[in-house]
């Protein structure tokens, strides 16, 4: 008796049909939708509209260049270039990094509470608002980075090939910020005081990081303490890649990366554990 030849069996992984993928896809769509609405809402009815996304960092950079280069006549140590704008560009690298972290963690504690109606009455997952806050802050950071790149090419032309390393130098802080956003968003549902605490914390991150000053200007007995600031190592490494200043070193960078991933895991785990009680708190 003949046996019919079996046709080719299609490879079906089944991922697209799984409930997990559908939930992930829907959550991602909602995060993008929330983020776009947030950005559009900020500049709605304004004359320039979304142009302000680029105009604001440009205005800030010009302002810093005038104040620190013309009025204060500040110079960054170990930078050979004599341009008056060099200090402002170096300074703006740190300020853009702090702005990203500050915006993300400032909006996180109230992200879920402010959208309680949508979360409780619709099928919007509670992780969407904090993830949207992170994405909006990240978009602002990317735009600031583009402004820094243009200013860097103008002031430091032709620059150095190591400037391309500024991008990977910034990546290790992303999981750290994401973990903090999830942790603060979940904690903000239970402890409403976090909203008021984040302001002073953000200011401490700004002034206890070598943004307005070089780490070399800090007394040696206090330098190690500044390394515990989560902004310090990314700022040092980005400046080292762009301007040839001293970086944080391989070991400290690896340690910072590992800690960032751990914070992201802790933040995600805490969010999953705490979100079971959101309905009773919102």
pLDDT tens digit sequence for 164-174:
778 888 999 99
**To the nearest whole percent, how much of the chain has pLDDT over 90?**
38
Among 49-63, 90-104, 205-219, which stretch is predicted with the lowest mean pLDDT? 49-63
Whose CA is closest to 106, among 181, 40, 44? 181
> How many whole angstroms separate alpha carbon 262 and alpha carbon 120?
30
Please report which confidence band the pLDDT of residue 1 belongs to, taking 50, 70 and 90 as the band edges. very low
DSSP 10: P
Q: Between 24 and 104, where is the model more confident?
A: 104
Mean pLDDT of 247-254: 90
What does the alpha-carbon distance between residue 84 and residue 86 come to, in Å, rounded to a whole number?
A: 6
Helix axes 52-64, 128-155, angle to 10 degrees: 50
What pLDDT score was predicted for residue 187?
Answer: 94
| Over residues 235-255, mean pLDDT | 88
Greatest mean pLDDT among 15-24, 147-156, 158-167, 195-204 lies in: 195-204
At residue 147, the pLDDT reads 85
Burial of 4 (0-12, 13-18, 19+ CB in 10 A): exposed
Kindly indicate the confidence band of residue 120, based on its pLDDT and cuts at 50, 70 and 90: confident
Please tell me which residue, 52 or 261, carries the higher pLDDT value: 261
**Averaged pLDDT for residues 220-226:** 87
- Segment 56-74 mean pLDDT: 77
pLDDT of residue 83: 58
- pLDDT at position 12 over 60: no
**pTM of the predicted protein model:** 0.85
Average pLDDT over residues 185-191: 93
Average pLDDT for 224-228: 89
Quick one: tokens of 223? 């330098």
Residue 67, pLDDT score? 80
124 vs 112, higher pLDDT: 112
Peptide bond into 48 cis (omega under 30): no
Average pLDDT (202-229) is 88
Please report the pLDDT score of residue 107 as a whole number.
Answer: 93
Q: Among 90-94, 111-115, 243-247, which stretch is predicted with the lowest mean pLDDT?
A: 243-247
pLDDT of the residue at 9: 45
Query: For the chain, what is the total number of helices (H) and then of strands (E)?
Result: 12, 0
pLDDT at 79 (0 to 100): 66
Residue 245: per-residue pLDDT: 81
Ranking 19-33, 99-113, 255-269 by mean pLDDT, the lowest is: 19-33
pLDDT (mean) for 55-73: 78
């Amino acid at each position: 008796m003949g046996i019919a030849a079996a046709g080719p069996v299609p490879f079906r992984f089944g991922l697209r049909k799984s409930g997990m993928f559908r939930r992930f896809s829907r959550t991602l769509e909602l995060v993008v939708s929330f983020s776009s609405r947030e950005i559009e809402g900020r500049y709605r009815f304004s004359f320039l509209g979304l142009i302000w996304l680029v105009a604001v960092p440009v205005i800030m950079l010009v302002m810093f260049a005038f104040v620190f280069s013309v009025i204060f006549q500040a110079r960054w140590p170990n930078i050979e270039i004599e341009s008056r704008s060099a200090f402002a560009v170096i300074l703006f690298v740190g300020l853009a990094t702090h702005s990203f972290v500050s915006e993300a963690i400032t909006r996180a504690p109230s992200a879920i509470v402010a959208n309680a109606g949508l979360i409780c009455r619709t099928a919007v997952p509670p992780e969407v608002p904090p993830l949207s806050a992170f994405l909006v802050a990240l978009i602002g950071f990317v735009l600031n980075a583009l402004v820094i790149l243009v200013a860097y090419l103008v002031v430091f032309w032709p620059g150095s090939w190591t400037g391309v390393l500024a991008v990977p130098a910034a990546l290790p802080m992303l999981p750290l910020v994401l973990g903090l956003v999830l942790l603060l968003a979940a904690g903000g549902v239970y402890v409403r005081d976090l909203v008021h605490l984040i302001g002073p914390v953000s200011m401490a991150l700004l002034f206890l990081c070598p943004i307005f000053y070089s780490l070399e200007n800090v007394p040696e007995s206090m330098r190690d303490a500044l390394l515990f600031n989560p902004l310090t190592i990314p700022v040092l490494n980005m400046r080292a890649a762009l301007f040839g200043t001293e970086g944080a070193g391989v070991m400290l960078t690896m340690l910072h990366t590992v800690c960032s991933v751990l914070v992201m895991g802790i933040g995600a785990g805490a969010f999953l554990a705490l979100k079971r009680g959101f309905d009773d708190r919102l």
